[in-house]
Copies of this chain bind each other. A is one copy, B any other.
Amino acid sequence: MDLWFTEEQTRYLKLSFQVKEVLENKHSHYQNIAVLDTENFGKVLILDGYIQVTQLDEFIYHEMIAHVPLITHENPENVLIIGGGDGGTAREALKHPTVKKITLVEIDREVVEVCRRLFPETSASLEDSRIEVICEDGFSFLKNTPVNYDVIIVDSTEPVGPAQSLFSYDFYQTAKKALQDKGIVVAQTESPFYNRELLQQSLNHVKNLYPLAGLYLAPIPSYPGGLWSFTLGSKGNDPRQINYTETCFLKHCQYYSQEIHKNSFILPPYFEKFMEDME
């Protein structure tokens, strides 16, 4: 059977890949959840038609969203992950020995269930005793939590559907209140080529709310345009000037390194100019 999946990357751009087998395809309360086995990417998790995780390149995304804020903080103990039901971000956060507790708030219980079954390489982390998985809306959880976190990681889906509120000014403001004095928030903020307005908006929210703001990039071949952005707000250390108080986790990294961390904040001139023009 010649079976293909097609993702609408933009209104005018589609990526299609050949499917060996449909391992899962169902509707949860929140979204469509599909897992496909493919030649090009290995197993792929797709939510509402958008690629979330592929076995080919998930390590790049998960290492960059986790290690950059955690190493910038220097002594992260208490971590909140919003989204990330596949467990990949949690897996990376667990590599830091300072981390005592990770609270993972995933809105969709069925994403966690599907990933526990079909993505053991990311979801095995969820069995760790330092992890608590809570299935509810991440923004609501954040508004009501009495805890102050060292690092909040927003590992969300696209800014349509259940994740929409996670890109708002209110969200970043609420996150700031739920952070310790030297706390850090980081969020995936889409393609710098195809979704610049959202990225600019997120960065402006962070610049207006946090003493330090940063934008960093990583190449992720299965995502639109192959380059992804992350926006970081810090009440403490500058992510561009870091002291490696801990380096053991580096030997378990495939993409992240000290040089890659530094370089990921260097933007090309046209992109710097674009970001300035938007201010």
Q: Is the CB of A266 within 8 A of B259?
A: yes
Which of B13, B253, B259, B270 interacts with A40 by CB under 8 Å? B13
- Selected contact of A260 from candidates B40, B257, B268, CB within 8 Å: B268
A219 to B40, CA, bound (A): 20
Complex interface bits, A14-55 against B, C-beta within 8 A gives 1, otherwise 0: 111110000000000000000000111000000000000000
Give the residues in chain B near A269, CB-CB below 8 Å: 253-257
Residues on B with C-beta less than 8 A from A198 are none
Of the candidates A219, A226, A266, the one having the most CB atoms from chain B within 10 angstroms of its own CB is: A226
Would you give the shortest CB distance from A51 to chain B, in whole angstroms? 12
Interface size class of A (residues with CB under 8 A): 35 or more
- Asked if A10 is at the interface of the complex by the 8 Å CB criterion, the answer is yes
CB neighbours (8 Å) of A193 from chain B are 56-57, 221
SS of A interface (majority): mixed
Q: Which residues of B sit under 8 angstroms from A226, Cβ to Cβ?
A: 219-221, 223, 225-227
A259 to B269, CA, bound (A): 10
Q: Which residues of B contact A253 (CB under 8 A)?
A: 269
Does chain B have a CB within 8 A of A59? yes
Q: How far is the CB of A58 from chain B (nearest CB, A)?
A: 12
What string of 1s and 0s marks CB contacts (under 8 Å) between A242-279 and chain B?
A: 00000000000111110110010010111000000000
> Using Cβ atoms and an 8 Å threshold, which residues of chain B touch A11?
18, 39
User: A270–B59 contact, CB under 8 A?
Assistant: yes
What would be 24 A-B contacts, judged by CB atoms less than 8 Å apart?
A11-B18, A12-B40, A13-B15, A13-B16, A13-B17, A13-B40, A14-B16, A14-B17, A15-B16, A16-B16, A57-B193, A60-B268, A193-B221, A219-B226, A219-B227, A221-B225, A221-B227, A223-B226, A226-B227, A227-B227, A254-B268, A255-B268, A257-B269, A259-B266
Which 5 residue pairs across A and B have the least CB separation, nearest first?
A226-B226, A221-B225, A254-B270, A12-B39, A263-B263
Q: In the complex, given contacts A12-B17, A193-B221, what are 20 additional A-B residue pairs having Cβ atoms less than 8 angstroms apart?
A: A6-B16, A11-B18, A13-B15, A14-B15, A14-B17, A56-B193, A219-B219, A219-B226, A220-B226, A221-B224, A221-B227, A226-B226, A254-B268, A254-B269, A255-B269, A257-B268, A259-B266, A260-B266, A260-B268, A263-B263
